[in-house]
Structure 1
Amino acid sequence: MAKSYKEINQDQRQFGSAYRKASPDTMNAFLALHKAAMVEGAVSIKHKELIATGIAIAARCDGCIGAHVAAALKAGATKQELIETIDVAVLMGGGPAIIYGTQALAAVEELSAE
């Protein structure tokens, strides 16, 4: 059965909300770190999201792939930029990155169709 990154993203938002209620200090600290790291600076938000997508593939994190592909698209990344990001992740991650890289491409296709 194919993964739905729309569903993964929806589920993760619910899981994150529940975790924030259970552990607000930790989740709020993580969200503050995310906000601080993902600001426009010498490296654009688009490029930061592309970097995060590559790391998500190498880390084999479905929720991370869904979130960062969506954020990269929102920040203006093109399909080709995401494919080349997948290429670099495969280079750095080997065989397991092929599996998650192909799944990241499925996320690009699904989430760019919105």
Structure 2
Amino acid sequence: MSKSYKEITEGLNPYLAEVKKGVPEVMKGFSAMAKAATADGALDKKTKELLALAIGIATRCDGCIGFHAKALVHLGATRAEIEEVCGMSVYMGGGPSFMYAADALRAFDEFSESE
């Protein structure tokens, strides 16, 4: 069983758009929160995306892994940085996080191939 994180994220996009249309005020609030949370501050945008990837691994969220791995490719993250995030996620989340850490590497590699 092989996952394609490009397919996962592309498959989610139309439904994310439907949610946005269905609850626009909620999504405006979510978008404002995302913009504020990811803005450069004491931590830069890339560091915040690394944290988001770690949380996606620990919570076993395929969509989160896909979208944050893609963002990290665009932000210039290295595979070594992703590997360290995976290590911390496994440390904090045990065996299930280990399985999703492997998937996070797969997602990063998949998006890196198309850059």
Which TM bucket (shorter chain)? over 0.9
Higher alpha-carbon deviation: 86-95 or 72-81 = 72-81
Deviations 1:70-91 (A, max 9, x none): 1111111111101110110000
Shift of 1:97: 0.2
CA distance in 1, matches of 2:59, 2:77: 21
CA distance in 2, matches of 1:11, 1:33: 24
Deviations 1:30-75 (A, max 9, x none): 1111111111121010000000000000010000000111111111
Q: Which amino acid aligns with 2:107?
A: A
Unaligned runs of 5+ in 1: none
Which residue is 1:92 aligned to? 92
Mapping of residues 12-51 of structure 1, within 5 Å: 12-51=12-51
Q: Please state if 1:72 is matched with 2:45.
A: no
> How many residues end up aligned between the 2 structures?
114
CA RMSD of aligned residues (A): 0.8
Shift of 1:12: 1.9
CA distance in 2, matches of 1:99, 1:108: 15
Shift of 1:109: 1.1
Question: Normalised by the size of structure 2, how large is the TM-score?
Answer: 0.95
- 1:102 aligns to what SS in structure 2? helix
Unaligned runs of 5+ in 2: none
Question: Normalised by the size of structure 1, how large is the TM-score?
Answer: 0.96
- 2:43 aligns to what SS in structure 1? coil
Mapping of residues 92-111 of structure 1, within 5 Å: 92-111=92-111
Shift of 1:100: 0.6
CA distance in 2, matches of 1:14, 1:47: 28
